[in-house]
Amino acid sequence: MSAAIRHVGIIPFVRNTIPGWSIEELTAKGAWFWDDGEGGVLGPWDWKIEVIGEGDIAYGKYIRNKAAFATVEWYRHLMNWRRSQPRYRMALGEDYQGTSHMDQLCRTLSPTLLSAVKELGSVEGSEVRVILTERTTVEQRSQVKGCMEKYLLPKVKRPAADYLNQYLEMGTWTVVGEFRRVYRGPNLEYKGWQKSSITTPEALFGAIDGGHPSCPAEVPPADDRADLCGGLKFAADSPFWAKLAEFSREPETPACTPEESRDLIIGKILENFPSADRNELLKLI
């Protein structure tokens, strides 16, 4: 699966309006869903944990609000395009003329959530509701009307938090930083249950662009890290990328215009899926 992602560059997880362009459609028959029977395999829903753990593949809901993978190179082009779009710049507090209730929600709360993710480094998915409730006032949340109003008062509830997560991932402001397997029951069984955290692409990919020259390539156990890299320590349960993020620079922006990045992405997809409809790709990208 990792090799397929690297070959295609950017690809949705599940099937979509472009035939063949998905991990689902590239998966061998019988391997898509986890099967705990004799000889069964965990499948892509579990394999994605190892793929993301490689540290240079972005995973998040950024293709029509659905999960997708991209290599650093192609995700940077997506960042270059998406972050130029006024609708997604509401996350920076910039004005956008959209008048829908969802636009109200993103305009009011997405800068707070993005600021928290940047400040904290990573945020568990289950923590988003708490962070938004604590860092915004009832008066602020009361500005959002319509279908989301009931999910914001008196505190932020899951549907609103999920939509804001999705908005930031679509805007390429955040990505999934890590998945962790969850073992349940008296026998600590794993049946595909997972927990995730979100982070920024800058934190996740910065280490790949270049790090602190004195940092060792192999990071020792947590107890032995005190004298390395400026004396900073990392907790044993830190995300896999945390040991490098402190010494990284931000991902390099492609040396082209946002429109050129968009066209390069579409061209890359068409290389592998030449029958894809260009107008449909424009909608997806």
Write out pLDDT tens, residues 17-43.
999 999 999 999 888 876 666 556 789
What whole-number distance in Å separates Cα of residue 224 and Cα of residue 188? 30
Choice between 191 and 281, residue whose per-residue pLDDT is larger: 281
Average pLDDT in the chain:
85
pLDDT confidence of residue 252: 65
CB 68 within 8 A of CB 4: no
Q: What is the mean pLDDT of residues 245-271?
A: 80
Q: What is the mean pLDDT of residues 33-58?
A: 83
- Is residue 249 over pLDDT 60? no
Record the pTM: 0.82
What whole-number distance in Å separates Cα of residue 14 and Cα of residue 272? 17
Cis peptide before 154 (omega within 30 of 0): yes
